[in-house]
Amino acid sequence: MLDRYILARTGDLVRGVQEDLEGLDSTTAASRLRDFAEVLTNWYIRRSRDRFWVGVDENDPTTTEAFDTLYTVLETLTRVAAPLVPLIGERVWQGLTGGRSVHLTDWPDAELFPHADDVRDAMDAVRELSSVGNALRKKEKLRVRLPLARFTVVTPHADVLAPFEDILRDELNVKAVELVAQGEGTAAEYGISHRLSVNARAAGPRLGKEVQRVIRAAKDGFWTEEDGVVTVDGIALEPHEYELALETTGRPEGEALAVVPTGGFVLLDTATTPELEAEGLARDVIRAVQDTRKNAGFDVSDRISLQLRFEDAEDAAAVRSAFAVAGVAEETLAVEAEVVDAGVEFAAAEFVADIDKGTYANRGGFAVAVSRIGDAS
């Protein structure tokens, strides 16, 4: 699914940049390239990283597909970008393909790429929901590595998003995603209402004396929204002339609400439990181990022996309880892993890192000891 998505986006890029350059609009072409690079690096490559870091595995065709797809995208991207960044494009092309010059190649054929409008639109919607959900986390001051119980999406396109629930769960670090088809009374069922605020300063110059009538009508609820157009007492407003917000009544505490720009709304369950907090701390430990591996100069594919020692007994108990569910060993490539008691000396280790209390969600400091296993030198 991810491969088809990025290939479809690549075809869109070729068509868009070609149209821009033919119209002598290099600014828009450059903007398209920047936006595409964001999708490629922060979505496709990041979400496919598990397929990349093991290299090509003959027994796992998904790794071959991932590298083939990435090569195709980069080769095409270099040809598309070459007119705008000729020297960089040349250097990247030669390093990527071994070819003589990118400027001697033909322009890519967009029709060789799948259109896959359904996959592209659905994945773009998932990316938008992930952005909205993570913005809610930030607003509620809930760190990304802390798992939460539920993310509810109320949308007209619930059926289209159903195949992507796993991605949403992973992106938002939640235990469950609930997709609810949005109907006429759905917002009211959730105790949610819309509040329209008219910006008198923005609307005044266009509406003149009518602006006060529009403001009063908006406050009294005499307005409608249809196909993205807000109409108040028969007068259609421009997007910059109003603010449409959601209000909740009767909803339990521990929920955060946000509007989705393309339609619908989301609810994030912000309540935590000791189990969720323990898993969050275990995920913090994963980050600490990964940083330790990097500081030790280990290769990203090195398998390791891992030892952890906590000053705080509650920290140690939490990490032990959530060690498996958080996937500490798997995420850090630890073939051997152990949480030793406070005061116990580590067995021989190549590298030891001390983590201060409060660096993450840890109450006390802890130490990370790592050693390479196998072909380590």
Q: Does residue 96 sit in the same domain as residue 13?
A: yes
**Does one domain contain both 99 and 143?**
no
pLDDT for 59 equals: 75
CA distance 312 to 315: 5
Within a domain: 204? no
Last residue within a domain, chosen from 115, 147, 168: 115
| Residues 308, 365 share a domain | yes
Q: What is the pLDDT along the chain (377 residues), one digit of tens a residue?
A: 899 999 999 999 999 999 999 999 999 999 999 999 999 999 999 999 888 876 666 677 888 899 999 999 999 999 999 999 999 999 999 999 999 999 999 999 999 999 999 999 999 999 999 999 999 999 999 999 999 999 999 988 899 999 999 999 999 999 999 999 988 777 777 777 778 899 999 999 999 989 999 999 998 888 988 877 899 999 999 989 998 777 776 666 788 888 888 888 899 999 999 999 999 999 999 999 999 999 999 998 899 999 999 999 999 999 999 999 999 999 999 999 999 999 899 988 999 999 999 999 999 999 999 999 975 44
Structural domain contains residue 291: yes
Tell me, yes or no, whether 170 and 147 share the same domain: yes
**Domain membership flag for residue 210:** no
Q: Per the domain annotation, does 354 fall within a domain?
A: yes
**The predicted structure's pLDDT at residue 61:** 82
Domain match, 20 and 106 both: yes
149 lies in the same domain as 173: yes
* Cα distance between residue 321 and residue 273, in whole Å: 13
Q: Which of 70, 98, 115 marks a domain boundary?
A: 115
CB burial readout 163-197, b (16+ within 10 A) else e: ebbebbbebbbbeebebbebeeebbeebebeeebe
126 and 107 both lie in a single domain: no
Total structural domains within the chain: 3
Question: Reduced to 3 DSSP states, what percent helix, strand and coil does the chain have, rounded to the nearest 5?
Answer: 50, 20, 30
Residue 52's CATH number: 1.10.730.10
Q: Which domain holds residue 21?
A: 2-115
- The answer to the question of residue 229 being in a domain is no
CATH code, domain carrying 368: 3.30.2320
Domain boundary among 115, 139, 168: 115
| 367 within a domain of the structure (yes/no) | yes
- Which pLDDT value is given to residue 377? 43
* Buried/exposed code over 258-269 (b: 16+ C-beta within 10 A; e: otherwise): bebeeebbbbbb
- pTM for the model: 0.80
Shared-domain flag, residues 82 and 151: no
- 12 & 104 share domain: yes
- Would 219 be classed as within a structural domain? no
The pLDDT of residue 376 is 45
- pLDDT (0 to 100) of residue 251: 64
- Let me know whether 22 and 72 are in one domain: yes
Residues 66, 132: one domain?
A: no
Q: How many CB atoms lie within 10 A of CB 294?
A: 10
> Residue 258 is inside which H or E element, if any?
strand 255-259
Tell me which DSSP letter residue 45 carries.
I
* Same domain, yes or no: 17 and 103: yes
Backbone angles phi, psi at 248, to 5 degrees: -115, 140
Is residue 104 one of the residues assigned to a domain? Answer: yes
Instruction: Using the Cα atoms of residue 301, residue 43, residue 146 and residue 322 in order, give the sign of their dihedral.
Output: negative
